Amino acid sequence: MGFDEIKDSVTVSEGETVDLGEVPGNKPITTLSARAREVRDLTTYEPKYLGKSGTDYDGLDFIPTTLRATRCEFRCDEVTARCPFTGQPDFYTVTIEYVATDRFVESKSLKLLMLTFREDRLTAEALANRVLRELDGLNARWRRVSVRQASRGGITLQVVMEASCYEEAE
């Protein structure tokens, strides 16, 4: 079930019937089930950046969810950073994949994160590491960041970094 499939004005309290809209297979819910909690959490969620002017980045924003083992993928193909040696711009495609536990990444905050690298002097490896570290607050079961640098001199570079909640606990 996607966020666009949930009605904006739904509020839920214990024992209240909830109509989840025209999503195939949905029936009204009379207890505070996982789906009802998700609707409640989304209607009380206060976006950090969405619908607000300005582009000052202050950390990723996360949207609460009760869905389990949801695999998400973002692809950002307009990321730039400067070569740490020459200062020339490097162009990247950054792919972020994760398995959500209790929250999703809000896409506008991700866009603002990608804009912060524009003037930074970073290698592709450093860029992948910084994006992976920004995802620490996601509490994902598993996450992977792939950074693919646009071809220069006929050479393309791809860096892949990943982490799981099991590795971080050690």
Token representation of residue 153? 């001199």
* Contact by Cβ (8 Å): 119, 82: yes
Give the model's pLDDT for residue 127.
Answer: 97
Cβ atoms 137, 81 nearer than 8 A:
no
Please give the mean pLDDT across all residues of the chain: 78
Closest CA to 112 of 95, 134, 128, 145: 134
Contact predicate 55/115, CB 8 Å: yes
Burial 30-46 (b: 16+ CB within 10 A, else e): eebeebbebbbbbeebe
Q: What percent of the chain has pLDDT over 90?
A: 46
What single letter denotes the amino acid at residue 65? T
Residue-wise pLDDT for 5-47, tens only, equals 333 334 444 444 444 444 444 444 444 455 555 555 566 677 7
Of 41, 72, 83, 102, which one is the catalytic site residue?
83
112 burial type by CB count under 10 A (0-12 exposed, 13-18 middle, 19+ buried):
buried
Task: For 104-134, write each residue's pLDDT tens digit.
Answer: 899 999 999 999 999 999 999 999 999 999 9
Q: Cβ neighbours of residue 4 under 8 Å, at least 6 residues apart?
A: none
Q: What would the mean pLDDT of 64-85 be, rounded to a whole number?
A: 88
Helix residue ranges, H only, the chain:
34-44, 107-115, 124-134, 165-169
Q: Average of pLDDT values for 71-75?
A: 93
pTM of the model: 0.70
User: What's the pLDDT at 36?
Assistant: 54
**Is the distance from CB of 14 to CB of 32 less than 8 angstroms?**
yes
Please name the residue that has the structure tokens 């202050």.
Answer: 58
Out of 58, 72, 77, 90, pick the active-site residue. 90
Residue 130 main-chain phi, psi, to 5 deg: -65, -40
Q: Which domains does the chain carry? A: 1-44 (no CATH), 62-169 (3.30.1130.10)
CB contact at 8 A, 3 and 63: yes
The whole-number pLDDT of residue 140 equals: 86
The 10s digit of each residue's pLDDT in 152-163 is 889 999 999 999
pLDDT number for residue 24: 46
Asked about 83 being catalytic, the answer comes back as yes
Give the model confidence (pLDDT) of 100-110 as tens digits: 888 889 999 99
